[in-house]
Amino acid sequence: MKGLVVKNTGSWYTVRTDDGQLLDCKVKGNFRLKGIRTTNPVAVGDRVEVNEEGWIVNIEDRRNYIIRKSINLSKQSHIIAANVDQAFLIVTVANPQTSTTFIDRFLASAEAYRVPVVLIFNKTDLLDEDTLRYQQAVVNLYETIGYECRQISAETGEGVEELHAMLDGKITLLSGNSGVGKSTLINRLVPGANLRTAEISDAHNTGMHTTTFSEMISLDSGYLIDTPGIKGFGTFDMEPEEITSYFKDIFHFSKDCRFSNCTHTHEPGCAVLKAVEEHYIAESRYQSYLSMLDDKEEGKYRESQ
């Protein structure tokens, strides 16, 4: 029988079959996807085939997915979710602060796998005037590049109502660092979800994990995919020459470079370096690009705080 993977606890997968059953299923240890070394061969959002014994025996072709490098196994990947219509990346400029490097890495990976992203700036109610100005500057940066941004407070409900129409009829992945308020936002969007929330750690001003597994939550029309908070976003399976095309702003200027194989690091006649110097490309974006090049050259995972 066939169905949709709606929960992944790490050892079990809950599958909603096409006839409405919820089955707890497993995969055999030697189950692997061709061409992808991953810690989780099956992800929430996958369409799968299940046999009578409750084993997942086949995965249908994915139309897209969000993937990142596994923290502990640098040569393997972790698939966050599959077959999504869009992703909401929840970010906060304080309590805790989401780095622009983390944002840029997520956006680049989403570009690589053709997943539209909306940036949701949460905890606006906690910001003073200076921090609000900084947030607006970050919003202006990403809107200028071409990304939709929303400023909300999941705690007070400010700006949340406008998100409902954006979710209608779509499968939406919610992702972000620990502590940015994903669970609070879901509780606002889905009355009765009753997800656990936790206070920010005073010692490190970082979030504490409250979601421990990935789960697909039904909406009136559509689904939300809730995922555990992530500290860093190591990009996976990107060649250096491809990375430019995953940065919309850098790619725009790269067409004017003197050399077609320009790495935008030192070459004469590099239009990207000129654009950075003249502030047409933000320094933060360029540094994120360099950090991803560095990942490939060093073969390492970088935790982007």
- Mark the binding-site residues for Zn(2+), compressed into ranges: 257, 262, 264, 270
Please state the residue numbers annotated as binding site. 122-125, 176-184, 257, 262, 264, 270
Please state the residue numbers annotated as binding site for GTP. 122-125, 176-184
Taking the C-alpha atoms of residue 287 and residue 78, their distance in angstroms, rounded to an integer, is 24
